[in-house]
Structure 1
């Protein structure tokens, strides 16, 4: 005489199957890693909880551009080089050889300055300074030689800066300096009407300002938080937005402190895990057993 299967029996059989060999965990990409053609990898993150905690909310992805956010504004990210640990940004309110704009201070937070400061080969150029400017008097040591270039090179060939030469009938003082100068003294204190910035200055010797690379290059450091271990296990590095503790994001419903559990499956080229042959055999056997019970 056959007895109909009870729900409890079927449930127990399924639990036994899963206990013997758990189903693979599917880990979808929880963090966006692309913004308008620019790859965004660790330590940066576009979504809160992604990337390193120190870089939280530094990047903003709009419909058209990727921006680096500081207290003085949003600066368009031109590129990120993960091999050299550099990011190049551009100040849309900055004057260049071809456009003259009202002066604008560039200011970073203390944390930003500590972990992603302007690179040594980035030079800030203070333009149209008065003879009473601090950098021409008490702080004149803050100005330095920039690859053999002079103020005359800026005021003569550049259409945007030529106006300074016309008003004074001579070349007004300028100053080639580093970020520390503009960090501690605003443009009003410096008594210079405009500024521009160029990077890769080591390669600009003998090159006129029309061909300079305008912008700011930042050098970032990568926190040693064990991210490599997380990535190798198939996870994405992030942090808890409440406790701010490091997390290895493994799936939409499972996170780990350091690495994803064995058998995790990640979409997008990460190591995957498929059920073993013995597990498939067990499933078939249980299926046959259930069929016999239901007959």
Structure 2
């Protein structure tokens, strides 16, 4: 009778054990197409860092969401902390697009702004444009390139050169994101824009060979994500408090990591695997009759 009670006690304690979450599969999607999705980004709410909440959307491709639209993500470099996006509505050397503004949310401008080596080029500007008058200091020399070179080299931009009644091309302006951040294309009085990155490599390189797109530079909040990942968890956050959360499984989340004894969202306690092993050994020993004395086990 005592033996039966002891076996029953062991079974009940084993049933209450939460298997170590280092063995659990990640509950956050870790890729979209061929682009890996790592911290601080996330595709599901609660994954990644809260500052980057709802910035990415994965359909057939990965897109970066801003107030002015969705922009295809070309690549993410987690070592250099950069993301390259492409605006399908901006003009390039090969295609002239309608009037368009690129706008980011304030939080995006703060934590994932366009990099310093991304240049915005305002095209076909009026002589009354503010960047050619009161704010002309916002335009700078771009690796020795000129408006005439841009209009003459690109098929898409030659229409600007041909439409002028004088021998000169309409003004353009090489500037930074801050200019288009504070002034819309209507205020700037320029009809089109394009953007290029890795500008340090473009001296002496013609517009046909420029790398068109927008490179964003992001920062990674230091909240102890490394310890979480080493323990087998995935870095995320509480969707209510936005506090850091180490996601261990669909049922267990830790405020630190997925090691033994961490507090989890369901109010349970993760039992270290060593304790679980001891209980299993004791159980087998009792069943085989190797241990005759009742054991008192506590977790």
Per the normalisation by structure 1, the TM-score is: 0.87
Q: How big is the shift at 1:229? A: 1.6
SS in 2 for 1:251: coil
1:195 counterpart = 2:217:
no
1:37 paired residue number: 34
2:122 paired residue number: 126
Q: How big is the shift at 1:65? A: 0.9
1:292 paired residue number: none
2:285 paired residue number: 285
1:111 counterpart = 2:107:
yes
Matches within 5 A, 1:8-23: 10-16=7-13, 23=19
Match for residue 27 of structure 1 among 24, 27, 52: 24
5+ unaligned residues in a row in structure 2: which ranges?
A: 263-271, 290-299
Per the normalisation by structure 2, the TM-score is: 0.86
Distance 2:19 2:75 in 1: 41
Deviations, residues 188-237 of structure 1 (Å, cap 9, x unaligned)? 00000000000000000000000000000000000111111211222111
Deviations, residues 103-148 of structure 1 (Å, cap 9, x unaligned)? 2111111110010111000000000000100000000000000000
Q: How big is the shift at 1:186? A: 0.2
Alignment RMSD (CA, Å): 2.5
Matches within 5 A, 1:68-217: 68-169=64-165, 170-217=168-215
Matches within 5 A, 1:232-247: 232-247=230-245
- 1:89–1:215 Cα contact (<8 Å) kept: yes
Distance 1:280 1:5 in 2: 16
SS in 2 for 1:67: strand
Q: Which moved more, 1:69-78 or 1:233-242?
A: 233-242
Q: How big is the shift at 1:12? A: 1.5
5+ unaligned residues in a row in structure 1: which ranges?
A: 265-271, 290-295
Distance 1:117 1:200 in 2: 15
Distance 1:152 1:182 in 2: 22
